[in-house]
Structure 1
Amino acid sequence: MTNRLIARCLTALLLALPCLAVGADQEEPAVYVIKKGDTLWGLSDRFIKDPGYWPELWSKNGQITNPHRVYPGQKVRVFPDRLEFVQEGDQKSVAAARPEDAVQNVTEEQRFAIRGSEGYLMETGMKPFGSIIGGHHDRIIIGMDDIVYTDIGAVNGVKGGEKFSIFREEGAISHPVTNEIMGRKIVPLGTLQLTDIEQTASRAIITKTFKEISPGAYLLPYRDERRREVSLKMPSRQLKGNIVESYSGTTTIAAGDIVFIDLGSVNLAEPGNMLYIVRDVDLDRRYTEGRGATLPQELLGALVILETGRKTATALVIKSIDAIYKGDKIVSHTK
């Protein structure tokens, strides 16, 4: 399945914003003047209801170096099926623009929230720093502001006031295609802060919770788990990989689910990269033998990378039009 075809198919997946109506029989196209906050993604979505069109728009306009940053005052001709940036000195097109042709509402760059509780794969070589060995008054279920005890002490070089991330480990995750061990699945539970340090132990207070915490939970050096956002970013190279596991562990994956994929910083994958989820179409060999038929891949949905490790990444499934499973392929759409 070609990138162009995938991009066109994704039109059915992504929400369309209100668009500017431009009549097919109009003698001159409307000219939109770029406002602060506009992006190629937003312009494509707003005017031709095809957010997947923006890589084509970018590739045909060399003056646009950053696909997610266009500048106020630039002008775009709006056709029913395409957009064209007005080149400098093209006075005829600029003169044809009428005040009523400009859209006043600004399309903001699309962003995706990271809550801090998405989880990740702890890759080979990383180990827990310590663990919670008990709760105050022998509590089994521990929550916000509760006192706990850890096996981290002065021998570990820590000081009072240091923070640690609390997590649950759910075992090694193997690649569904190659069987390679990709890492150990980490489920964030919250954070704590050390208050009193002894030689080999310490007292701490729970400062944030995502899920119920119990003695035995592991500790890692503090990860910034404040809510933040990532913006869509075009991949710097073609990316191809697979979905390795889901956060929930369920068999069927759908829109809104967190997944882990086999692409990381070594593959030049970055937060904000959008990938399409596809599956090869298999036909009965009795009817295709000797013909060498290659069919277009089935488009299943799309995901956005939220955070990357070295060889893996955490991603959010933003759209699904069919059931998605571990092992399904992911591909990028690049310039």
Structure 2
Amino acid sequence: MPVPETLNSPRRASRRSAQRLALIPLLCLGALGAAQAAPLPVTDAQRATAERVAQAGVPLSELAPNAPETYTVKTGDTLWDISQLFLKSPWRWPELWGMNREQIANPHLIYPGQTLMLVKQDGMARLQLAQEFGQGNGSNSASAKLSPRIRASDNLLAAIAAIPLNLIEPFLNDAVVFDSDALAKAPRIVAAPEGRVNLSNGDIAYARGDFSQASDYRVFRNTQPLRDPTTKEILGYEARYLGTAELTRPGEQRVNDQGKPEIVPTTLTIKTVRQEIGVGDRLAPVLQRSFLRYVPHAPSKDISGQIVSIYGDGLNAGQNQIVALNRGSQDGLERGHVLSLWLKGRQAVDRTGERKEDIRLPDEKHGVLFVFQTYSRVSYALIISVKEPVKAGDRFSQP
């Protein structure tokens, strides 16, 4: 059965009270931001109960209407595609897969060619991998050997991604986002050989700052503040990407022949250039590519916020575009979180009574966000589906 075109049309997912109760034990175990209030103590008995619930699966009523009994993963599939194939609410993937809190943070990977089997028992459903030897010996679906584990020899890069990587790679390659403290500490280019103004591929640059974090750096300039739509407080900074540079010789502090201290800057080699690079430009470590390990899941607590901006300076955004959010890791957001977009209810006039009255229609859910990058006070999300254009100030919440 082919995976549906999940990124072409939004799916309205109902959330029943039974679903909410089933989610609470699993999600309350999620890691929370360091700056949020300390959670209530969790007893060993409560933790054990939560682990059992987390691995029990989902009620049969939460399966998608046409969920297949088995599905063979294909090249080009994403975890979100498969989640929507099996579930009414794709963010319940951890329950369907029987994940505990540690597995959400460090999930098993899924590869093209593997077969997923839907196991139903006692009114619950779980998804597992059907091992090749179990299927090849004529075993029926009830007795086939099942396991969520992946062969150690499988190639990490061959695993399916959570969302289409081509949609977020421009951000992961080019975006330079800072918290205020990190911006102030960012290394900077201070000189070039022979007083050169512009640097190109292969040129040498000299820089000062802390280079202990990495050997490969992105070069940037012209930081723009990311402001909270309501409070106008600066949450972070977004900068213009210029290119990349590689550390070739560390700097040092030494004493010269006259016995005076002197500073020798770090030497960098310019590797790629998107725009001209020069003295005064700043540096940030190249992002580590961990996006293959995202798991779609709901936030562990009620959370709401607003769209800060559209990535790329657009006024409005649609499906498959990236937006900045005014909530970050300190608010409990983490990579893989699924959020709902809300359309503000319009003003209307009630003309049905004896006199006209102004009314405000209720807000309506009209889209889905997938968080793929978090910072302390700001995050970035991909618009998976949406009915109306998205703009700065629009509201989001847990699904």
Which band: TM-score by shorter chain?
0.5 to 0.7
In the alignment, does 2:343 pair up with 1:279?
Answer: yes
For the 8 Å contact 2:221–2:239, the answer to whether it is kept is yes
Q: SS at 1:214's partner residue?
A: coil
Shift of 1:172: 2.1
User: Which deviates the most, 309-318 or 128-137?
Assistant: 128-137
The one-letter amino acid paired with 2:85 is R
Query: Which residue identity is paired with 2:396?
Result: I
Partner Cα distance (2:377, 2:296) in 1: 19
Q: What residue in structure 2 maps to residue 149 of structure 1?
A: 206
Q: Give distance in 2, aligned partners of 1:58 and 1:205.
A: 44
Which residue of the partner structure matches residue 53 of structure 1? 89
Equivalent residue, structure 2, for 1:24: none
Tell me the residue number matched to 2:69: 32
Q: Select between 274-283 and 122-131 the one with higher mean Cα deviation.
A: 122-131
2:395 corresponding residue in structure 1: 329
Taking the aligned partners of 1:58 and 1:201, their CA distance within structure 2 comes to 49
Counterpart amino acid of 1:316? L
**Cα drift, residue 119 of structure 1:** 2.3
Distance in 2, matches of 1:254 and 1:185, equals 21
| Contact preservation (8 Å) 1:120, 1:314 | no
Quick one: which amino acid aligns to residue 335 of structure 2?
Answer: P
Q: Which among 168, 180, 192 is matched to residue 221 of structure 2?
A: 168
**Contact 1:195–1:205 (CA<8 Å) still a contact in 2?**
no
CA-CA distance at 1:278 after TM superposition: 1.8
Q: Give the TM-score normalised by the residue count of structure 2.
A: 0.55
- Aligned partner of 2:162 in structure 1 is 110
- Structure 1: how far apart are the matches of 2:124 and 2:70? 12
Residue 141 to residue 181, structure 1, CA distance change in 2 (3 Å): same
Q: What is the CA deviation profile of residues 270-297 of structure 1, one whole-angstrom value per residue up to 9, with x for unaligned ones?
A: 1111222222112135659878765241
CA distance in 1, matches of 2:288, 2:340: 27
Assess, with a 3 A threshold, how the Cα gap between structure 1 residues 231 and 112 changes in structure 2: closer, same or farther: farther
Q: Which residue does the alignment assign to 2:234?
A: 181
Render the CA deviation track for 1:213-243: whole Å, top value 9, x for unaligned: 33321124x2435585343321322331111
1:271–1:306 contact (8 Å) kept in structure 2: yes
Query: What is the match of residue 85 of structure 1?
Result: 125
Secondary structure (helix, strand or coil) at the match of 1:317 reads strand
Unaligned runs of 5+ in 2: 1-5, 12-65, 128-139, 143-158, 253-262
Distance 1:137 1:302, change over 3 A: farther
**Displacement, 1:251?**
1.4
The 1-side partners of 2:325 and 2:295 are apart by: 17
Do residues 295 (structure 1) and 352 (structure 2) align? no
Secondary structure of 1:12's partner?
coil
Q: Who is 1:125 aligned against?
A: 181
Q: State the secondary structure of the residue aligned to 1:46.
A: helix
Structure-2 separation of matches of 1:228 and 1:44 = 17
Residues in 1 aligned to 2:215 and 2:90: alpha-carbon distance in whole angstroms: 45
CA change 1:252–1:311 in 2 (3 A) is same
CA gap 1:331/1:196 in 2 versus in 1, 3 angstroms: closer
Task: Evaluate the alpha carbon distance shift between residue 30 and residue 236 of structure 1 in structure 2; reply closer, same or farther with a 3 A threshold.
Answer: closer
Paired letter, 2:246 = L
* Aligned mates of 2:71, 2:302 — CA distance in 1: 29
C-alpha separation between the residues in 2 aligned to 1:210 and 1:227?
A: 24
Post-superposition Cα deviations, 1:241-264, rounded to whole Å, max 9, x if no partner, equal 111123312212233433221121
Q: Does the CA contact (< 8 Å) of 1:267 and 1:311 recur in 2?
A: yes
Please name the residue that 2:269 is paired with. Answer: 205
After superposition, give the CA deviation of every residue in 1:69-128 in whole Å (9 maximum; x if it has no partner): 799655259xxxxx96289xxxxxxx999xxxxxxxxx9663343543352542232213
Query: Which segments of 5 or more consecutive residues in structure 1 lack a partner in the other structure?
Result: 1-8, 15-28, 78-82, 88-94, 98-106
Identity %: 19
Contact kept? 1:256, 1:318, Cα under 8 Å: yes
Structure 1 residue 149: Cα displacement: 2.6
